[in-house]
Structure 1
Amino acid sequence: MLKQSSSRPSRLRGTFALTLLAAAIGTATPALADPEVVRSVKVDERVYEIAFNPATQAVYAAVTGLGDDNKQQVTPGIVVLDASTLEQKNKIETGDVTPFGLGINTKTQKIYAVDTRKGVVGVYDLKSGKEVAVIENSGDESNHLRQAVVDEKANKIYISAFGGMVRDGKKGPDSAVWVIDGATDKLESVIVSPVQSAAGLALDADNKRLYVADLNSSTIAEIDLSTQKVLRTFDSVITEKDANPEPFDTINLEIDTKNGQLYAINQKSGGVSLIDLKSGKITRTVKTGDGALSARLHPQSGDLYVANRNDGTVSVVDADTHYVTAHLFTGVRPQTLAIDPKTGQVYVSNKSKGKGRQAPEDAPVPVEAAGNTITLITP
């Protein structure tokens, strides 16, 4: 396990440090600031995934409107927030689609809303807010949809469908990856059982590779998108010799195509595995926090921002040292992250805990000031 430092080694703090730096290099070069939580706003409709749109300088938040009993309490939709102030600008009504996951094609200005429960994908025009299509699969594969990844160059959208689980001795529907044609917004094909239980996805568009996390076995499959065949699989967690990977650990993925590196986000282990894509080998692991759930690579610094769901924090992993340089409290249950590629600002969705499924019906819903919020972090 790597030693964790308290701040990024290349960053200096305060006016005194800035003066020393300027004197040392003979010019008034500004020091890099440390990541900081700027503000949080309440979104009172059970927020899940978020996405950023550079064209509108807005953050889009999927809100399910579901209560602890999974009954509809308020209207589901996609809340549109101003990227600078986090003020709500609009709300896209999604009708019968209850959005959990989101994917934006910034070229076509369409957003894809994943309805995990109904097993459909709603497509909406971002300019008008109107519904374009609702996509479903009539096959025998699982329709428990999870994540959307958009290939803007090819105008394709990939959706993971979790499946392959055995309950009461019976195997359920196979997991799958949907391939949606963004030109027609129709289901083009289905990649069946690339792994046993498909969870997170990561796309290398230039090399036509899709990486799929197998939540059941904590392994990763590499798919050739030209043939839709699995080229290889590799471990995403380190185990003892001759031992099998711990199940239900690797849940999401992030990719650094520039440096040929894949990040496996491991919720049980509470951290990240760094995998060299050339060899398929784990090069190191980094502990970030309890219930590590999702991550985004910062396009400017190369740092990795990791949402630790059970800790209520977002950890920053330094691009060069791979030390954790910050733990930032953002909310009750950090879910997903989005980043503005121009300003570098980081956005976090924080779900509420609620009263819990085992609570009596008459139990009050706890007040959670830091639940169902969107948080802004300056890098």
Structure 2
Amino acid sequence: MKIYISNYLSHSISIVDYETLETEREIVLNNNIYPHHFCVDEQDGKIFIPSLINGTLYAVDIISGKILDSVSVGGSLSQIFMHEDELFVSNEDTNSIYIINKYTLEPVTMISVDDMPHGLGYDQKNKKLYVPCINSIVCIDIENKIIYKKIDTDFKAWHLEIDQKKKEIYVSTLDGKVVILKEDNLEIINTFYELLLPVQIRFNYKDERVYISDLGYNQIKILDYKLGKYIGKIKVNGIPQGLEISKDYSRLFVSDTENDEVKVYDTKTNQLMKVIHVGKEPTTIVCL
């Protein structure tokens, strides 16, 4: 099992061994590639990286670290999602989702959404992709490549995570809230305050916990999954941004963009297990 980390200002991807929590190697990219987000295709041995600055999507070989192919999309590319043989890329400048063939990097189609689409959340069972925009949430049917439904909001949606068990959507907002909606009709059912700038959200179904990284307050907020209320926090000596949880829910990985580290916490005790030094300004973490 490997852990992949994008280092935005180092123009690199760190690869960490899950068992030892030691860095195996670092893929150093070109200086014009700013990896904010990425996805990994382990079967084909590729990492797909949308560069936030130059509007180009890159396919990078995992083993050699070489760029295999690239395509200029234009605009500010934010997040990427892979489904079967297609890549879905959010573009904040053109207010759209680009769909690209992952083998050829040729464009398939483009779906216009609302202002500044950023994070992406996928419901695997229903094959729906949810896109948070500044004043709306858009649901895309990825098989038919159409907008299935959407809701206008009075909050500034930024990132979101799908609760696959309860069929709910947790949305972090730029105005300091986490909003929970029913997936079927996008009705708001709860709102959490006491946050400053929440970013990513992860579910621990084993221990019935929800983790929210708050880079404004430099901490990880913890919710009781069943009761829907705050039960604790993890103080981070730095600026937490990216979150990932291991498949067995025993470890929580947090990217610290201030200290250029990934911090690993034991989910039973919330105690710091390990500090992994990576590149400059680590953002996204992927555990496979």
TM-score above 0.5, yes or no: yes
Task: Verify: 1:155 aligned to 2:155, yes or no.
Answer: no
Gaps of 5+ in 1: 1-56, 66-74, 164-173, 237-244, 353-370
Query: What is the alpha-carbon distance in structure 2 between the residues aligned to residue 345 and residue 284 of structure 1?
Result: 27
Q: 2:165 aligns with which of 258, 268, 290?
A: 258
Match status 1:58 vs 2:2: yes
Please give the per-residue CA displacement for 1:46-92, whole angstroms capped at 9, x wherever unaligned. Answer: xxxxxxxxxxx222221233xxxxxxxxx521122233444322011
Partner SS state of residue 147, structure 1: strand
Q: Answer yes or no: is the 8 Å Cα contact 1:150–1:158 preserved in 2.
A: yes
State whether structure 2 residue 66 is matched by structure 1 residue 130.
yes
SS at match of 1:99: coil
1:200 to 2:88 alignment: no
1:1-379 paired onto structure 2 within 5 Å: 57-65=1-9, 76-95=11-30, 96-137=32-73, 143-151=75-83, 154-163=84-93, 174-191=94-111, 193-215=112-134, 217=135, 219-236=136-153, 245-246=154-155, 249-268=156-175, 270-287=176-193, 289-298=195-204, 300-342=206-248, 344-352=250-258, 371-379=259-267
Q: Percent identity?
A: 20
1:292 deviation in Å?
Answer: 0.7
| Local SS of the residue matching 1:199 | coil
Per-residue Cα deviation, 1:249-294 (whole angstroms, up to 9, x for no partner): 21111002332111111231x2311110112101111235211112
Q: Which one has the largest radius of gyration?
A: 1
Q: Figure out how many residues of one structure are paired with residues of the other and give that number.
A: 266
Note the C-alpha offset of 1:302.
4.9
Question: Cα distance, 1:106 vs. partner?
Answer: 4.0
User: Which has a greater percent of strand?
Assistant: 2
The answer to whether the 8 A contact 1:312-1:330 is kept is yes
Q: Give the 3-state SS of the residue equivalent to 2:161 in structure 1.
A: strand
* CA-atom RMSD in angstroms: 2.1
Deviation at 1:195? 1.4
- The runs of 5 or more residues in structure 2 that have no matched partner are 268-288
Counterpart secondary structure, 2:44: coil
CA separation of 1:343 and 1:203: change in aligned 2, threshold 3 A: closer
Confirm or deny: 8 A CA contact 2:205 2:249 kept in the other structure. no
